[in-house]
Structure 1
Amino acid sequence: MASQAGVSFKTVSYVLNGGEKVSDKTRAAVLGAVKALDYHPNHAARAMRLRKAFSVALVGYGNEEKPAYGNLGDPAIAVIVAAMAATAEGNGYTLSLTNFRNADPRAYRRGLTQGQFDGGIFIPFADNAGALAPFIDSPLVVIDQPDMPPGVPVVRVDYRSGVRAAVEHLHGRGRRRIGFVGGPRDLNAYHNTERYGGYHDGLAACGLPANPALVVASDYSFEGARSVFGALMAASPDAVVAASDRMAIGILREARGRGLRVPEDLAIVGFDDLESAQFVDPPLTTVHHPLNELGQRSMEMILARIAGTLPEHAERVVLPTHLVVRDSS
């Protein structure tokens, strides 16, 4: 390859390992040779030489009461993970799932000690910042856990204003008995509690009374929402905000199955803006959850952290949400 590019072996190695102090002409010659020869670097040899694993772990964590909440079958989680993996791959890294289903960070500790990872992205399934204490001095980025000490990069989503916007939208359409289908009441996780908070903020902003009968809880699934539909309808809502699109679609199906017209009899708003939200009947109004950006930004942050190039002012990132209005409301 060096002869193909007309440079030394050292220059080839320098360019392939991300060196910047070469001319554009030299870099173009090396990359052209890589393409012409269909060259694929030996990542194992590269990792051994540079003493790096070129791998980032995705680590779920919870607490003793909620030890297992990692669900790769959830479409929202799948979108986040896909964006992380694509961003890692584009930078010469791989993404590893570390005991994700059981939300147990001890496997990450073992892998870090054994040199299997260069750092980790931590995603909580319960509010438990203390679980990360053993890893604070290692390269890490934390998702949706705002109460981390200074120096720990955190990226989170503004769930609260998204749900508030949904309530205000329904109120603006003349709805006055707005219900909420939230996640498990005992799930003390930022993404869950902030959704509940956004609902109550919306009611207050619209001058609507808080009615406990209009609030029901289930898991973040189709069937979970369908199972609480009867309890919700006993309070006679004219609209409902659901904490996820899957929950909203479950409510929509149950409403249609019972002869209710959507949105005439019951307006419905979801949260996530999954691809499927566009294809239900009627298309679902929903809060856009920046899932792709969450995966991409968190991976970019950990790679910068590993490289030592993440500036202090970039250690706290809040991703906005926005309402996408369709026919269900």
Structure 2
Amino acid sequence: MSWLTGLDEDDEYEEYDESAVRTRPNPKGNRPRTKTRPGHAEAIPGRVTTMDRGRYGVLVGEGTPDEHELTATKARELGRNSVVTNDVVELVGDTSGAEGSLSRIVRILPRTTLLRRSADDTDAVERVIVANADQMLIVVAAANPEPRTRLVDRYLVAAFDAGITPLLCITKTDLADPEDFLRNFAGLDIEVFRSAEGAVPVDEIRSRLLGHTTVTVGHSGVGKSTLVNALVPGAHRAIGRVNTVTGRGRHTSSSTLSFRMREGEESGWIIDTPGVRSFGLGHVDVANVLKSFPDLDAIAEDCPRGCTHMPDAPDCAIMERVAEGELGDVGRARLDSLQRLLGTLRS
């Protein structure tokens, strides 16, 4: 007997053939792997309105008789690309919106703007808040809680960096006069809405927001959710109260949601974000802040290379023109605003 084959010398056996070898089946299927991905030519567009633990609420057929909402998940092929509120995406799968149905987001269409923040000023990792907004409504209370100039400065820097037009809404003016606070922004061309006897001018704000996509930001407790509920009846955003001991607002909104406003044939979107007490700017490009002051940016072309435009900057063309009185009081106020915003980044 051969110790190699286990057969006696007189035994006969078939010649070895590769086809006789039994292979283990592929548990994931027998099709070979490929890097080619489907084109998804049948994908339909939609707007992301909500996000909740890996599930996305998407509005499809916007403005058509077939308009409806559905639930979707992110396709694996998107990898680490994040889907955020107000993204315009393309979907495949079951897009009927029927109860229990689930579609897949296979593409994120190019974004026009991206509002971001970081955990703190030393963290360059950005947290995307919302996509495709063209306006930012900064809601500030005249009192209870006290207005924070530095926090508003940070909102303005983030808006300028993203190319978003900032608006300012002052609530609770029946508790305090906001004039001293508003002087900090006299040099900026920002539209301001003020409450009268405690009532926010809802109709005036709604007319300004129609035709736009507006993201609301503000400290907790300033009345942001109250304003959204007034602008969009049926929004049902939770309303919090200010802590009488600390003077700080309690967080009530924990998610970013999109709501559509309608008035006749006009419509607009308002995106309510959770209240925050800090707004990191570690991701911001300083050059984008200066571009938001086009009159000063044009003068800055005469500044020496690397000019910071701060009070300690030598030979700054902007400061020289302001000192000579060429830009008047308005130019002085705008320079003060620019330096304060740049100082926010430097600090």
> Would the TM-score normalized by the shorter structure come out above 0.5?
no
Q: Which has the higher strand share?
A: 2
Higher relative contact order (CA 8 A, sep 6+): 1
How does the TM-score come out when normalised to structure 1? 0.26
Q: Which has the higher helix share?
A: 1
